[in-house]
Amino acid sequence: MIKKSLKTPFKTKHNTAPFSKIKNEDFLPTFKEAIKQAKKEIDDIATSINTPSFENTIVALDFSGEQLDRISSIFFNLNSAETNETIQKIAQEVSPLLSEFSNDITLNEALFKRVKAVYDSKKELNLTTEQQTLLDKKYKSFSRNGANLSDDKKSQLRAIDKKLSQLKLKFGENVLAETNKFEMFITNKADLSGLPEGAKEAAKQLAESKDKKGWLFTLDYPSYIPFVTYADNRELRKKITLVAGSKSFKGDDLDNQDIVLNIVKLRHERANLLGYKTHAHFVLEERMAETPANVQDFLDELLEKAKPAAQQEFKNLEDFARELDGIDQLEKWDGSYYSEKLKQKRFSLDDELLKPYFKLENVINGAFAVAHKLFDLNFEEIHDIDKYHEDVLTYKVTDLEGEFVSIFYADFFPREGKRNGAWMTSFKPQYIKNGENSRPHISIVCNFTKPTKTKPSLLTFNEVTTLFHEFGHALHGMLANTTFPSLSGTSVYWDFVELPSQIMENWCYEKEALKLFATHYETGEVIPMDLVEKIKASATFHEGMQTLRQLSFGLLDMSWHGGSPEVITSVKAHESEAFKNVSLYPETKETCMSTAFSHIFQGGYSSGYYSYKWAEVLDADAFEYFKEKGIFNKMVADKFKNNVLSKGGTENPMTLYKRFRGQKPKPEALLRRSGLIGK
């Protein structure tokens, strides 16, 4: 029996997850029961005596396993945001079971036969565009996962998928353990020179929480980033930078080198088994970019524009460091420090000047105000639904008529059981069933600076843009309005999914938007417009270097997945080769990015990291449209809402984009915004 606490629909307000009633020991038996239930639903479809139809096969398939999907969402979201050893152990047990179940579907011959029968008769079915998309997606989910393979090759595929699911989990666990393991205690006050008061106070509070005297710094971003950006002590910057850069690259039991090599070899083997040249060829077939050659051309085109600018910026930074402190060779642990000093000199602007204007609560309300002006949404904080940690904020989202749109969870501060970074996720998708529009439950998770005893949570400008970025993803989920769950919200091509998030960052640079929320936390004074002008002017500071950095990650990703990994024996040597044309800083033998590159080895970005830059092209082009008409122009906002945010994956993303914009996106918009070509 499925445990009562995990039986859906939940007998809770808006069918929200009853976190307080869920016990860790409930998960494994519930997963097993839900898989059993989902298998029966699949078998009923596969063995039906009725002639295969769109409704009894394709639609039935899309709505099958609803119980399992809800439980999986809850469990794996907890594993990212509030994990512990027990949950991690369950994840290792459950992941192979889910992988096996997934294969049970895609390798089910009777089921595929029915899907294929519907697919082959699609011309006679008079389907809507959304139905046609669902049919294509379901057919491809079989053909791209081995349905046309012989029995022995199907067995091979099952074994590969099972192993990959375990390796990816282990990769992430090792990175999290490495992040949590490192603690840098400082007892000499002189070693804090250069650090802002807020960073020092947070470090002191962290030390006290461990019953230690002094100041504690960790690899969590709100601790790590201020230290490498402001600490005058070069040796300590070096120490923490090398530790951060060598996560899971120390040859111990948390080492990920063999895991990386095994993952890329298994992915390549899987792609070959399915008839694709490489893993990248397999992945990109279902992306806007379409082929590895197109991705390479895209990255090379941007590299051609960015590299000369990056090299000049780096030379200027070296000259500045030499002139200021007599530094002969700029190293990785110097970059953020001297960049910040040069930025302050050039723009008289630093994050410590800005932070008082970006109290977390005000920024949240600012994001809500922007969403209200653009998309007619209202956000009300509620206290009558469960949350998985006391830090989590919960909101009810409604439209102008007061109709329920979504539940929204927001989780902002780092803690031990939470992985680094920021992400959006969902606890329940949107769909229409039996005439009822079932609304989504959306969450964003970040790692921002915590409040201290004397100050509220004051965000760096980078944290402000991160919040708006994740909130953009959340809007994509909240405003979903499709029939089928697998096409809803962020279920779009991977190189399209970053458009809604990245476009929202643009409002952080606009006076009209900043006036809504950027007020001093003590005086209530609106951010001075000269600071706003400096924010805008500094937005393209070191854009060449930033672009080169992003491109280097995309090139590293493609180097792992766009060729045969059989020849790769050393993770470090392979990475160095991939970086040789994009490196500015000297090589450090102790560090390796790949062993902690969670986006491509744990998350879903393999052969897809380029999509951040791809989406920047889309967002720069899209925001030019807003700028032309006014950043809160309702006509443009409605077109974006109706053609992008609400449509999910119901149509080809380029079709949706052109319907919104009236044209294909142009890279020149990004290059103009970045200052890499003239306005």
Domain assignment present for 426: yes
- Are residues 335 and 377 part of one domain? no
- Are residues 502 and 371 part of one domain? yes
Domain assignment present for 520: yes
Domain assignment present for 519: yes
- Are residues 293 and 225 part of one domain? no
Domain assignment present for 164: no
Three-state SS for 182?
coil
Number of helical (H) and strand (E) elements in the chain, helices listed first: 27, 9
- Are residues 234 and 267 part of one domain? no
The reported pLDDT for the residue numbered 349 is 82
Domain assignment present for 234: yes
348 residue type, one letter:
S
- Are residues 665 and 586 part of one domain? yes
The residue ranges of the chain whose pLDDT is under 70 are: 1-5, 678-679
124 is catalytic: no
Domain assignment present for 361: yes
Total domain count, the chain: 4
The reported pLDDT for the residue numbered 152 is 95
The reported pLDDT for the residue numbered 341 is 95
The reported pLDDT for the residue numbered 3 is 61
- Are residues 491 and 544 part of one domain? no
Domain assignment present for 159: no
In whole angstroms, what is the distance from residue 177 CA to residue 357 CA? 35
Token match 């895209």: residue?
298
- Are residues 116 and 206 part of one domain? no
Domain of 447, CATH number, reads 1.10.1370.40
- Are residues 227 and 334 part of one domain? no
- Are residues 450 and 314 part of one domain? no
The pLDDT tens digits of the residues spanning 436-471 come to 999 999 999 999 988 988 999 999 999 999 999 999
Which residues are 397's β-sheet partners? 379, 406
- Tell which of 95, 126, 148 closes a domain: 148
Q: What predicted TM-score, i.e. pTM, was given to this entire model? A: 0.84
Domain assignment present for 351: no
**Contact by Cβ (8 Å): 288, 520:** no
The reported pLDDT for the residue numbered 401 is 97
The pLDDT tens digits of the residues spanning 491-522 come to 999 889 999 999 999 999 999 999 999 999 99
- Are residues 492 and 393 part of one domain? yes
Three-state SS for 359?
strand
- Are residues 403 and 269 part of one domain? no
- Are residues 141 and 130 part of one domain? yes
**Contact by Cβ (8 Å): 74, 27:** no
Domain of 602, CATH number, reads 1.10.1370.10
- Of these residues, 66, 352, 470, 543, which one is catalytic? 470
* Domain coverage including residue 623: 260-345+540-679
